[in-house]
Amino acid sequence: MKRIAILGSTGSIGVNCLQVIQRYPERFRVMALAGGRNVNLLAEQVMQFKPEVVSVRDKDSKTQLKKLLAGYDIEMLQGEQGLVKVATMPTVDLLVSAVVGVVGLRPAIEAVKCGKALALANKETLVAAGRIMMDMAKEHGSAILPIDSEHSAVFQCIHGRDRAEIQKIILTASGGPFCHRKDLESITPDDALRHPTWNMGAKITIDSATLMNKGLEVIEAHYLFGIPAEDIQVVVHPQSIIHSMVEFVDGSAMVQLSVPDMKSPIAYALSYPERLEGVIERLNLSSIGSLSFEEPDLERFPCLQLAYDALNSGGTMPAVLNAANEVAVHRFLGKDIGFMDIPRIIKQVMDRHKVIPDPSIENIFVVTEWGKEMAWKLQ
């Protein structure tokens, strides 16, 4: 029996994760859940999965949850402290981190320090502090298991392989909803929130539209698999059937394919190294017909280039890119700035940052705050 805690249980990854768990009650037990402000759904999840601990974003949400769960015997927590407590519970074997943003960093670090397996959907953890996280995981014997579909694909393709056999990684990108749109300046939040193949939260949907999502994934892949930036390529593949590929030194490549359903990488991370039966719909290639590929346009989508630039600068720069992006996306969703202002603001913040080459975790938190502050100020 694997004992699981989920950070971000009411988001799209969290909900999918609980659906997988629900199908395999003999394999998994939910020990703790942490949600944001969707307390109604969180209360339902608590009643269904009966965890020992539940955590919410703030005091108001806690008051509401208490009312919904009146008479229920459960420990209730809140805020970052709550996330850390959930992440480090002695009875938990595997932590699923599916919160959005850099708020996931502290609990992920603490979980790894306790030697827990970490199933990571929160990209920002590895983007902001990739080297520190990977070193720490090694030191404490903690496995980091990717939930992102691309990284899960790479993880599956290289399973049992030696690093020396790998030539490069090719991450696939759906291209987002604006792949072929001419006028990018006039895009509104409503336009951007309609994603063609994946149904996700607002932040990641905007990141997909700007291609920053792919940029963050390039950075994540670099740290997770130890592959240099120049050997990580991106190819646009609108059908989202091939989730990524690995090319080996002999020119042979391996790909991982499935229908686009997040339950697939979630189930693999939960059950690794085993595979669960009947998690997603079967792939029917003849009904799909054809798969297509094209080069990403780095001039029209500068966010992807900025991510490569941040990775090449190294040190604290990816954390700054990530912090500036979080704020820029927030401002775009609030209609404070335009779609193409997102990369403009991120670039300005990066230009102003003096890189700390070998940062401590405290450095990462400080530059993250600085990057956010700058991104709020700039126009």
For Mg ion, which is the closer residue by CB, 148 or 309? 148
Closest CB 106 distance from Mg ion, rounded Å: 23
User: Is 278 annotated as contributing to ligand binding?
Assistant: no
* From 140-148, 171-179, 305-313, 358-366, span contacting Mg ion (CB under 5 A): 140-148
Task: Please select the residue that binds Mg ion; options are 52, 124, 148, 247, rule is CB under 5 A.
Answer: 148
* From 23-31, 145-153, 250-258, 270-278, span contacting Mg ion (CB under 5 A): 145-153
Closest CB 234 distance from Mg ion, rounded Å: 11
Question: How are strands ordered across the β-sheet holding 166-173?
Answer: 232-236, 166-173, 242-248, 253-257
For Mg ion, which is the closer residue by CB, 61 or 97? 97
Closest CB 322 distance from Mg ion, rounded Å: 15
Q: Is 55 exposed, middle or buried (0-12, 13-18, 19+ CB in 10 A)?
A: buried
The residues in 150-189 that bind Mg ion, with binding defined as CB under 5 A, are 150
User: Is 9 annotated as contributing to ligand binding?
Assistant: no
Closest CB 314 distance from Mg ion, rounded Å: 23
Instruction: Tell me how crowded residue 181 is: count the other CB atoms within 10 A of its CB.
Output: 13
User: Is 217 annotated as contributing to ligand binding?
Assistant: yes
Closest CB 287 distance from Mg ion, rounded Å: 24
Instruction: Tell me how crowded residue 212 is: count the other CB atoms within 10 A of its CB.
Output: 29
For Mg ion, which is the closer residue by CB, 62 or 151? 151
- Site size for Mg ion (CB under 5 A): 3
For Mg ion, which is the closer residue by CB, 311 or 337? 311
Q: Is 88 exposed, middle or buried (0-12, 13-18, 19+ CB in 10 A)?
A: middle
User: 167, 247 in Cβ contact below 8 A?
Assistant: yes
Residue with tokens 């963050």: 216
Q: Which residue(s) pair with 123 in the sheet? A: none
Please list the helix, strand and coil fractions of the chain in percent, rounded to the nearest 5, in that order. 50, 15, 35
For Mg ion, which is the closer residue by CB, 150 or 247? 150
Which tokens in the block code for residue 217? Answer: 């994934």
* From 37-45, 87-95, 146-154, 280-288, span contacting Mg ion (CB under 5 A): 146-154
Closest CB 84 distance from Mg ion, rounded Å: 26
What Cα–Cα distance (Å) separates residue 188 from each residue in 60, 111, 206, 207, 209? 31, 38, 10, 14, 11
- Residues with Cβ within 8 Å of residue 136, at least 6 apart in sequence: 109, 112, 113, 142
User: Is 295 annotated as contributing to ligand binding?
Assistant: no
For Mg ion, which is the closer residue by CB, 45 or 205? 205
Say whether residue 124 binds Mg ion (CB under 5 A): no
> Smallest Cα–Cα separation from 268: which of 243, 234, 238?
243
What Cα–Cα distance (Å) separates residue 371 from each residue in 70, 84, 128, 166, 293? 42, 24, 12, 35, 35
Strand (E) or helix (H) holding 246: strand 242-248
Closest CB 146 distance from Mg ion, rounded Å: 9
Q: Measured at CB, which residue is nearest to Mg ion?
A: 148
Query: Which residue positions form the known binding site?
Result: 10-13, 36-38, 122-124, 148-150, 174, 195, 201, 208, 213-214, 217
Residues forming the site for Mg ion (CB under 5 A): 148-150
